[in-house]
């Protein structure tokens, strides 16, 4: 028996004979251990501590939290309920030893370190482990400059089904033998203690959890954490059809290899599935766009895939796939300009309210017929008023036509929507030179 196993055996014995503190010690020790059986053991003891034990009402469950802490999470919770992505958050509340002022700071929980995370029990175990390693703040009191003392650490996890945060609150830190943890709900304003009826064994931290996190990270432009979360989701939910929904966002951050794994996992379980084929085609086009030198065979392979997706799906309303065929024709260089124009015209007239088709055809006309490009970009702007790309497209077309006043007003509109858009300086420069 090695040292680690010996320690675990001792802790296990102490937990079996001991009180809630010994059981929590066991849960945390098992959580920190890498062997597969330990995960189940950790959850066994966590359940015991929080639900089965009669003395699970460990002391002082609800402490008045700092106002800032409530406001910070309350705001994000409201967004989460309306479907916005939300990642887990660790809130540390400290109190000044001299004047009594409390302060709060927060950390978003990165998902990279999570070993297993499929059920609510997994979450609690992970939260206990994270909270047990939190260090006190080295900040000084804002009011009097005295050192701060950590009061408690809250690990917040949004539970979609109830629309509330489940919180693991840790009131003791480090090697304090008298552990005080509590399990709370937070509705955006108040806390209440979790009851046995609230949590069932079948409650799952499901693929949706990861999808929300990944989309949250990509929306914030944090593609590194998005990628890390996607890798973890792949390990646990590889092949789940919902995972395909994160591909688009990840591709925007050029996270090609994780997207490839998601798509391949999907297609392995569902060979020939049209949605999977379409995503694969999207991936190949992205590879083509960023590849140096650009490899035209990627476009041809994408062409095969999207055609297969369209014909096997039998769908007549798949506007994204039909538009992709136009983009492929434009990128491949095989088709005459007349042929490409016809393809775009067909898609635009079939789906007149599809803004992306207006954009694609606008790009095509920008090279060939700037007047027509302007018409498409104007139509797209009225369909998708918040997207600066349509005004930027118009600015480029007007510049080509030397219609400088119209170009300037298009640039101004784009600037209002996206003041720091990377295309703006280039277009402003071009406008200044044209005058």
Burial grade of 3 (CB within 10 A; 0-12, 13-18, 19 or more) = exposed
For the bound state, the minimum distance from the C-beta of residue 159 to Zn ion, rounded and expressed in Å, comes to 36
Q: Peptide bond before 208: cis, by omega within 30 degrees of 0?
A: no
**Shortest Å distance, C-beta 138 to Zn ion:** 15
- For Zn ion, the closer CB: 20 or 141: 141
Shortest distance, position 46 Cβ to Zn ion, whole Å: 36
| Closer Cβ to Zn ion, 96 or 306, answer by number | 96
96 is a contact residue toward Zn ion (CB under 5 A)? yes
Q: What is the DSSP string of 303-354?
A: HHHHHHHHHHH--S--HHHHHHHHHHHHHHS-S-HHHHHHHHHHHHHHSTT-
3 state DSSP class of 151: strand
Contacts of 274 (CB under 8 A, 6+ apart): 308, 309, 310, 312, 313, 315
User: Which range, of 41-49, 141-149, 207-215, 307-315, touches Zn ion by CB under 5 A?
Assistant: 141-149
Q: Least Å distance between CB 289 and Zn ion?
A: 55
Q: Which of residues 100-119 bind Zn ion (CB under 5 A)?
A: 101
> Minimum Å distance from CB 103 to Zn ion?
9
The least CB distance from residue 139 to Zn ion, in Å, is 11
State the maximum Cα–Cα separation within the chain, in Å, rounded to a whole number.
86
Nearer to Zn ion, 65 or 166 (CB): 65
Site string for Zn ion, 19-48 (x = CB under 5 A): ------------------------------
Site for Zn ion in 281-310 (CB under 5 A): none
Buried b (16+ CB within 10 A) or exposed e, 51-71: beeeebebeebeeebbeebbe
366: Cα within 13 Å, side-chain hemisphere: 18
Task: Count interface residues toward Zn ion (CB under 5 A).
Answer: 8
As a whole number of angstroms, the distance between CA 81 and CA 22 comes to 37
Any contact of residue 148 with Zn ion (CB under 5 A)?
A: no
- C-beta separation of 377 from 388 below 8 A: no
Of 84 and 101, CB closest to Zn ion: 101
Nearer to Zn ion, 78 or 144 (CB): 144
**Contacting Zn ion (CB under 5 A), which of 5, 79, 144, 219?**
144
Residue choice 5, 78, 79, 143 for contact with Zn ion (CB under 5 A):
143
Q: Quick one: 79 or 144, whose CB is closer to Zn ion?
A: 144
How far, in Å, CA of 332 to CA of 324, rounded? Answer: 12
Out of 35, 52, 60, 98, name the contact with Zn ion by CB under 5 A: 98
Q: Minimal distance in Å, beta carbon 94 to Zn ion?
A: 10
The reply on whether position 139 binds Zn ion by CB under 5 A is no
Measured from the CB atom, the residue of 18 and 147 that comes closer to Zn ion is: 147
Contacts of 347 (CB under 8 A, 6+ apart): 319, 322, 323, 326, 354, 357, 360, 361
Specify the residue, 100 or 272, whose C-beta has the smaller distance to Zn ion: 100
Among the listed residues 9, 40, 99, 220, the single contact to Zn ion using CB under 5 A: 99
Least spacing, CB of residue 60 vs Zn ion, in Å? 23
* Closer CB to Zn ion, 142 or 412, in the complex: 142
Segment interacting with Zn ion (CB under 5 A) among 12-20, 90-98, 405-413, 424-432? 90-98
Distances (CA, A) of 46 to 10, 28, 40, 112, 127: 18, 9, 10, 22, 11
Q: What is the DSSP string of 157-221?
A: EEETTTTEEEEEEE---TT-SS--EEEEEE-SS-EEE--GGG--TT-B--HHHHHHHHHHHHHTT
Binding residues for Zn ion (CB under 5 A): 96, 98-99, 101, 141, 143-144, 146
């Amino acid at each position: 028996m090695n040292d680690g196993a010996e320690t675990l055996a001792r802790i296990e014995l102490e937990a079996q004979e001991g009180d809630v503190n010994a059981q929590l010690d066991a849960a945390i020790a098992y959580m920190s251990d890498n062997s597969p059986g330990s995960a189940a053991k950790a959850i066994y003891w966590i359940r015991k501590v929080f639900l089965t034990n009669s003395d699970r009402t460990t002391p002082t469950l609800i402490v008045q939290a700092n106002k800032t802490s409530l406001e910070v999470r309350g705001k994000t919770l409201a967004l989460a309920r309306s479907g916005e992505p939300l990642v887990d958050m660790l809130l540390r509340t400290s109190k000044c030893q001299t004047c009594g002022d409390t302060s709060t700071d927060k950390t978003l929980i990165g998902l990279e370190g999570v070993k297993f995370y499929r059920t609510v029990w997994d979450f609690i175990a992970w939260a206990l482990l994270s909270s047990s390693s939190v260090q006190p703040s080295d900040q000084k009191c804002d009011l009097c400059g005295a050192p701060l003392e950590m009061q408690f650490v809250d690990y917040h996890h949004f539970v979609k089904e109830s629309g509330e945060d489940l919180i693991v609150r840790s009131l003791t830190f480090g090697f304090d033998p008298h552990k005080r943890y509590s399990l709370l709900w937070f509705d955006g304003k108040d806390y209440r203690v979790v009851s046995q009826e609230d949590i069932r064994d079948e409650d799952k931290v499901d693929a949706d959890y990861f999808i929300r996190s990944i989309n949250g990270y990509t929306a914030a432009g944090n593609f590194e954490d998005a990628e890390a979360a996607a890798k973890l989701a792949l390990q646990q939910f590889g092949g789940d059809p919902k995972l395909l929904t994160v591909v688009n966002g990840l591709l925007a951050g050029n996270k090609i290899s994780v997207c490839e794994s998601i798509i391949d996992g999907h297609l392995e379980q569902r060979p020939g599935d049209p949605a999977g084929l379409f995503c694969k085609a999207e991936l190949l086009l992205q590879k083509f766009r960023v590849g140096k030198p650009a490899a035209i065979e990627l476009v041809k392979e994408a062409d095969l895939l999207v055609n297969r997706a369209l014909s096997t799906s039998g769908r007549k309303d798949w506007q994204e796939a039909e538009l992709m065929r136009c983009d492929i024709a434009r990128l491949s260089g095989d088709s005459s300009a007349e042929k490409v124009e016809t393809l775009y015209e067909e898609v635009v007239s079939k789906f007149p309210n599809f803004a992306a088709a207006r954009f694609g055809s606008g790009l095509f006309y920008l090279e060939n017929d700037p007047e027509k490009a302007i018409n498409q970009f104007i139509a797209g702007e009225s369909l998708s008023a918040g997207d600066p790309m349509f005004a930027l497209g118009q600015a480029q077309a007007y510049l080509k036509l030397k219609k400088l006043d119209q170009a300037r007003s298009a640039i101004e509109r784009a600037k209002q929507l996206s003041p720091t858009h990377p295309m703006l300086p280039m277009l402003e420069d071009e406008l200044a030179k044209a005058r």
